[in-house]
């Protein structure tokens, strides 16, 4: 087990270094986007531009620029081109909203998807099963920002049941925070409810026909005990690896769309605003952090996976 963890961590580290290089290259190889022009401001003279180019090291070899950029990223000094603040301070400001969104949504989608997937599997072939499958497909097919916009229209403007976007910190009252987050959570969760309920349905149906479930019945276990101890316990394993990737994706950027629709001022919306302003450093930093989060979480998930499924340990 320890050897497995160490090996997994080493490979994650390798991917991280590669990710940082690739991310840097995406932005360094930017055609037509001399950052010096942007940094020096609208009314800059050629001397100003030359000075900025020199000060930021845009004339240095690319590997020097890479090293310098990474140093700035990890010391938190990298600055936005358009606003003269550090990117880190902005990300820190946006983090509570993004984390609230991601955690709430993931709890919602896991709970709902497990209930729906299990219900569909246990009544496979029935009308319940069909309607859950239809719902699942609708969820998979509805982009989160469209769902968000429609929810806003229906529940914030037409009926005033929920606030019209915006983020309120949990410190200003759990109730208000919750009230503001309900619609964003639903918007983000819909897609994953669709995917997870369908995946769980098919794994549960498969598991139900496994020999060990027959053994469990032959042992005289109760129906509930068989479902929780044997069927669900085994069927949830594939969801774990799915979840790791999806949760990291949401935290690391997937929430951009929902944050923008609901004006949550999270990290994602910061990225979106930087995109419109063609402000490169915030995008670079968030893409980098997003990728780092994905790599770390997928390494973590592999370890959890191995802990849940003893057969994996042998293979690793």
Nearest-10 crossing angle of helices 233-249, 87-122: 150
Scan residues 99-128 and list those touching another protein (CB under 8 A). none
Q: Measuring CA to CA, how many Å separate 192 from each of 1, 37, 249?
A: 31, 42, 12
Helix and strand tally (H, E) in the chain?
15, 0
Nearest-10 crossing angle of helices 87-122, 267-276: 120
Distance of closest approach, residue 139 Cβ to another protein, in angstroms: 10
Scan residues 234-263 and list those touching another protein (CB under 8 A). 234, 237, 242, 245-246, 248-250, 252-254, 256-257, 260-261
Q: Which two tokens stand for residue 59?
A: 């004339």
The smaller minimum CB distance to another protein, of residues 170 and 316, is found at 316
When binding is defined by CB under 8 A, the residue of 78, 110, 285, 295 that contacts another protein is 295
Distance of closest approach, residue 94 Cβ to another protein, in angstroms: 14
The smaller minimum CB distance to another protein, of residues 182 and 242, is found at 242
The smaller minimum CB distance to another protein, of residues 22 and 173, is found at 22
Span from 19-27, 57-65, 83-91, 174-182 in contact with another protein (CB under 8 A): 19-27
When binding is defined by CB under 8 A, the residue of 137, 173, 176, 228 that contacts another protein is 137
When binding is defined by CB under 8 A, the residue of 59, 141, 176, 228 that contacts another protein is 141
When binding is defined by CB under 8 A, the residue of 135, 142, 240, 304 that contacts another protein is 142
Strand partners, 281: none
User: CA-to-CA distance for 40 and 179, rounded, in angstroms?
Assistant: 43
Q: Which of 248, 251, 250, 254 has the alpha carbon at shortest distance from 301?
A: 248
Q: Which two tokens stand for residue 310?
A: 């003893």
Span from 92-100, 108-116, 178-186, 230-238 in contact with another protein (CB under 8 A): 230-238
Specify whether the CB–CB gap between 24 and 70 falls below 8 A.
yes
User: CA-to-CA distance for 204 and 98, rounded, in angstroms?
Assistant: 32
Element (H, E) at 94: helix 87-122
Tell me if 157 contacts another protein by CB under 8 A: yes
Q: Which two tokens stand for residue 103?
A: 């955690």
Specify whether the CB–CB gap between 89 and 267 falls below 8 A.
no
Tell me if 166 contacts another protein by CB under 8 A: no
**For residue 79, which phi and psi values (nearest 5 degrees)?**
-110, 150
Span from 52-60, 93-101, 179-187, 278-286 in contact with another protein (CB under 8 A): 278-286
Residue 176-215 contact track with another protein, rule CB under 8 A, x = bound:
---------------x---x--xx--xx--x--xxxx-xx
The smaller minimum CB distance to another protein, of residues 59 and 141, is found at 141
């Amino acid at each position: 087990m320890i050897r497995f963890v160490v090996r997994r961590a080493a490979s994650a580290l390798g991917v991280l270094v590669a990710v940082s290089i690739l991310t840097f290259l995406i932005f360094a190889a930017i055609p037509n986007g001399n950052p010096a022009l942007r940094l020096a401001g609208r009314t800059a003279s050629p001397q100003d531009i030359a000075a900025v180019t020199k000060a930021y090291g845009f004339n240095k070899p690319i590997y020097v620029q890479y090293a310098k950029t990474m140093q700035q990223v990890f010391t938190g000094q990298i600055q936005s081109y358009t606003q003269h603040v550090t990117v880190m301070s902005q990300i820190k400001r946006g983090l509570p909203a993004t984390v609230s969104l991601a955690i709430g949504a993931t709890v919602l989608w896991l709970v709902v998807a497990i209930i729906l997937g299990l219900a569909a599997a246990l009544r496979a072939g029935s009308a319940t099963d069909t309607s859950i499958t239809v719902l699942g497909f609708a969820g998979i097919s509805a982009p989160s920002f469209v769902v968000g916009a429609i929810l806003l229209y229906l529940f914030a403007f037409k009926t005033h049941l929920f606030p019209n976007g915006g983020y309120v910190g949990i410190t200003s009252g759990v109730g208000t925070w919750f009230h503001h987050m309900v619609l964003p959570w639903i918007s983000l969760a819909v897609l994953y409810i669709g995917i997870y309920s369908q995946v769980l349905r098919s794994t549960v149906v498969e598991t139900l026909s496994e020999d060990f479930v027959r053994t469990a019945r032959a042992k005289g276990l109760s129906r509930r005990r068989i479902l929780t101890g044997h069927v669900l316990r085994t069927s949830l394993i594939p969801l774990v690896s799915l979840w790791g990737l999806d949760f990291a994706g949401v935290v690391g950027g997937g929430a951009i769309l929902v944050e923008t629709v609901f004006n949550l001022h999270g990290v994602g919306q910061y990225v979106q605003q930087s995109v419109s302003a063609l402000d490169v450093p915030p995008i670079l930093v968030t893409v980098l952090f997003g990728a780092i989060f994905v790599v770390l979480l997928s390494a973590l998930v592999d370890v959890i996976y191995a802990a849940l499924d003893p057969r994996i340990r042998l293979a690793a």
